[in-house]
């Protein structure tokens, strides 16, 4: 199975609550590799492009205000089945309904303030990574721990 790269965004509520380190630790403890990162304020145009499929929905304007209202940590995360693995680690959208042990299940109490975004498909990951990262901003490397994360038959 080949490695894939996915987009993860630690949203303003995760940043403001001081959860960045805990979330990064969970991703790395799982065996995923951070290959890109940016701590930034989200430009409105980027937020609108990222959430374009929700334009016109009742929550859209509030979502744009939320994600542009405080810094976020944008990550490119790589691993075997990284998209599905990250989605499992993240948990259900509403923290009250997310399973314990997931990021949202352990730290979230809201559906709107839901701490983290993760790409939901290879197509979304490709589109989102291009939106948030430019050429040369992702680092292609293999951490030395990699040999201890995957059985060679996994790769």
What's the pLDDT tens digit per position in 52-93?
999 999 999 999 999 999 999 999 999 999 999 999 999 999
As a whole number of angstroms, the longest Cα–Cα distance in the chain is 47
Residue indicated by tokens 């975004």:
117
41, pLDDT greater than 90: yes
In sequence order, what are the residues at sequence separation of 6 or more whose Cβ sits closer than 8 angstroms to the Cβ of residue 33?
77, 78, 79, 141, 142, 143, 146
Model pLDDT, residue 50: 97
Q: Is 50 a catalytic residue?
A: no
Catalytic-labelled residue, pool 26, 50, 104, 117? 117
Q: Are 112 and 2 in contact (CB under 8 A)?
A: no
What are the structural domains, with CATH classification, of the chain?
3-135 (3.30.70.141)
Q: How far apart are CA 112 and CA 139, in angstroms?
A: 32
CA distances in angstroms from 137 to 3, 61, 94, 154, listed in the order given? 18, 30, 32, 27
Using pLDDT thresholds of 50, 70 and 90, give the confidence band for residue 1: low
Local structure of 92: helix, strand or coil: coil
Q: Are 5 and 82 in contact (CB under 8 A)?
A: yes
More confident residue, 42 or 111: 42
């Amino acid at each position: 199975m080949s490695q894939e790269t996915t987009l993860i965004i630690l949203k303003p509520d995760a940043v403001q609550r001081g959860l960045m380190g805990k979330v990064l630790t969970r991703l790395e403890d799982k065996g995923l590799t951070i290959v890109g990162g940016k701590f930034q304020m989200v430009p409105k145009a980027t937020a609108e492009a990222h959430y374009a499929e929700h334009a016109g929905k009742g929550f859209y304007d509030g979502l744009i205000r939320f994600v542009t209202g405080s810094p976020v940590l944008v990550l490119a995360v790589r691993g075997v089945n990284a998209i599905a693995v990250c989605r499992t680690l993240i948990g259900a959208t509403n923290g009250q309904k997310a399973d314990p042990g997931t990021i949202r299940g352990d730290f979230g109490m809201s559906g709107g303030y839901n701490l983290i975004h993760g790409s939901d498909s290879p197509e979304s990951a490709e589109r989102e990574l291009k939106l948030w990262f430019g050429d040369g901003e992702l680092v292609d490397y293999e951490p030395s721990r990699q040999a201890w994360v995957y059985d060679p038959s996994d790769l």
